[in-house]
Amino acid sequence: MKISVFGIGYVGVVSAACLAKDGHEVIAVDVDPGKIDAINAGHSPIVEEGIDDLVRDVVAAGKLTATSDTQFAIDNTDASFICVGTPSAPDGSVGLSYVVDVCRNIGTAMASKEGYHSVIVRSTIVPGSTESACIPVLEETSGKKVGTGFGLGYYPEFLRESTAIADYYDPGLVVFGSMDDGTRAFLSELNKDMPCDIHKVDIRTAELLKYTSNCWRAVKVTFANEIGNIAKASGIDGQTVMEILCSDKKAAMSPYFMRPGFAFGGSCLPKDVRALGFLARSTGTQAHLLNAVLEANEAQIARAEAMIDESGAKSVGFVGISFKPGTDDLRESPLVALAARLIGKGVKVEIYDPFVKEAFDAGTPGAGRGNEGIPDLETRLIGDIDDLIESAGTVLVGNYYAETVEKLKNATPKRKVVDLTRVHRDMVSDGSYSGICW
């Protein structure tokens, strides 16, 4: 393939050199003559493990050259990667000036090119930026329409400094979005030998994936540091604690807890977050993240309450009331808290929960255990999901029960449904159906 890489910075140099190593013909483009001269002389303008030898080899092989001539780069390649910086603006927003400038130059060059050209953004930009900032300037300067006159994609990188070359060939995650078949086919071919799954999504999803990945890393560092601070104040080695935690692939590192939805509850998580926060305070240690966890969890319950309020329902049928499906345990269930708030406002609440009802029907001594907010809980329980749907003004889906899925899907055209767990993966907020995070 013939590829131009705009921006001879960290991402640009590594991407250009690795593409050239793979046999592609690569033209690196920049406004800095020092970087251009360095590349053409076979030297890397950045410091990175293994990059000097790699640049020297691919330049010597004639696979990588550098220039400041945008027109030359566009005329002699089939696709362009935009790898310029996006530094923070004073207000914290992403700075798009470099990306827009490059798009303007590329669009101007594409205006006189007869062949189809794909423009692929790799710079880190917030969701919607490709559509709002890149497309208008590319169309205006090229005189062509995206998807027909030229291709467009967003293809984030996941390179870590000091291990960038290794990360390029084993990124752990490949995701890209595109607006045309040509760009999608190009990126698919480029990544066909990657040792990981290839995720082909819409452009906005790809944009958010990059930020999600980076912010998740930041959260993990902050969490580890907070545990380390608490551990040290308690006479414990925090690194040992985190090393052991990370060895648990079943729960601690499980994707089960990484699924957007409703608040957490139960007999363990709420009380243990509170207890560790108290321990931190008692040792004079700040627990910023732990405090924020409880605040955010409470806010998710309030979010669901607001969704019910917006539905205008005077009666709500809860699908699930225990803190998670498969149990009758109501201890600190966020669904109990939500139901109690609605009842307090005069809303009629009825509940379908097969496990809680089973406990009451069987006369289990612990039936209703943990219920601290719902008066007359047993009388509110309904054993048939059809009856619940029929009598409810709004159906509130709190827990997932396989036997309810099709009936709830079928109910959405005639009943308002507020979904906190996601009845089905293909359902998104639309019309009478509202998902809390989708």
268 in active site: yes
Contacts of 71 (CB under 8 A, 6+ apart): 109, 112
Going along the chain from its start, the domains and CATH numbers come out as 2-201 (3.40.50.720), 204-248 (no CATH), 296-435 (3.40.50.720)
Q: Judging by DSSP bridges, how do beta strands 151-154 and 174-178 pair with one another?
A: antiparallel
One-character DSSP codes across 162-198: TSHHHHHH--S-EEEEESSHHHHHHHHHHTTT-SS-E
CA distances from 284 to 279, 281, 426 (A): 9, 5, 48
* 340 close to 373: Cβ distance less than 8 angstroms: yes
> Could you give the residue ranges of the DSSP H alpha helices within 203-258?
203-233, 238-246
Q: Is 159 marked within a binding site?
A: yes
Under the banding of pLDDT at 50, 70 and 90, the label for residue 253 is confident
Cβ neighbours, 10 Å, residue 64: 27
Q: Judging by DSSP bridges, how do beta strands 394-397 and 433-435 pair with one another?
A: unpaired
* 317 close to 396: Cβ distance less than 8 angstroms: yes
* DSSP letter (8 states) at residue 146: B
Q: Residues 191-226: pLDDT tens digits?
A: 999 999 999 999 999 999 999 999 999 999 999 999
Average pLDDT, rounded, for the chain: 97
Q: What is the mean pLDDT of residues 332-360?
A: 98
* 265 close to 332: Cβ distance less than 8 angstroms: yes
Phi/psi at 316 (5° precision): -130, 130
CA 320 to chain centre: 27
pLDDT attached to residue 337: 98
Q: Is 324 marked within a binding site?
A: yes
Q: Is 412 marked within a binding site?
A: no
Q: Is 30 marked within a binding site?
A: yes
The pair of three-digit structure tokens given for residue 379, joined into one six-digit string: 């009388």
Q: Is 274 marked within a binding site?
A: no
Report the alpha-carbon angle 259-263-269, nearest 5: 95
Cβ neighbours, 10 Å, residue 124: 18
Catalytic, out of 196, 215, 246, 268? 268
Separation CA 116–CA 121 (nearest Å):
17
> For residue 76, which amino acid is it?
N
* 317 close to 392: Cβ distance less than 8 angstroms: yes
Separation CA 180–CA 148 (nearest Å):
8
Q: Residues 260-319: pLDDT tens digits?
A: 999 999 999 999 999 999 999 999 999 999 999 999 999 999 999 999 999 999 999 999
pLDDT attached to residue 237: 97
Separation CA 109–CA 154 (nearest Å):
20
The pair of three-digit structure tokens given for residue 165, joined into one six-digit string: 């070359």
Under the banding of pLDDT at 50, 70 and 90, the label for residue 238 is very high
CA 35 to chain centre: 34
* Partners of residue 118 on adjacent β-strands: 79, 151
Separation CA 300–CA 306 (nearest Å):
10
Q: Judging by DSSP bridges, how do beta strands 25-29 and 64-67 pair with one another?
A: parallel
Q: Is 25 marked within a binding site?
A: no
The pair of three-digit structure tokens given for residue 199, joined into one six-digit string: 């995720």
* pLDDT > 70 fraction of the chain, expressed in percent and rounded: 100
pLDDT attached to residue 354: 98
> For residue 368, which amino acid is it?
G
The pair of three-digit structure tokens given for residue 402, joined into one six-digit string: 């396989």
Phi/psi at 193 (5° precision): -100, 10
Q: What is the mean pLDDT of residues 107-134?
A: 97
* 267 close to 331: Cβ distance less than 8 angstroms: yes
Q: Is 414 marked within a binding site?
A: no
Separation CA 63–CA 27 (nearest Å):
8
> Could you give the residue ranges of the DSSP H alpha helices within 381-421?
385-391, 405-411
* 93 close to 125: Cβ distance less than 8 angstroms: no
Contacts of 15 (CB under 8 A, 6+ apart): 5, 81, 83, 122, 157, 168
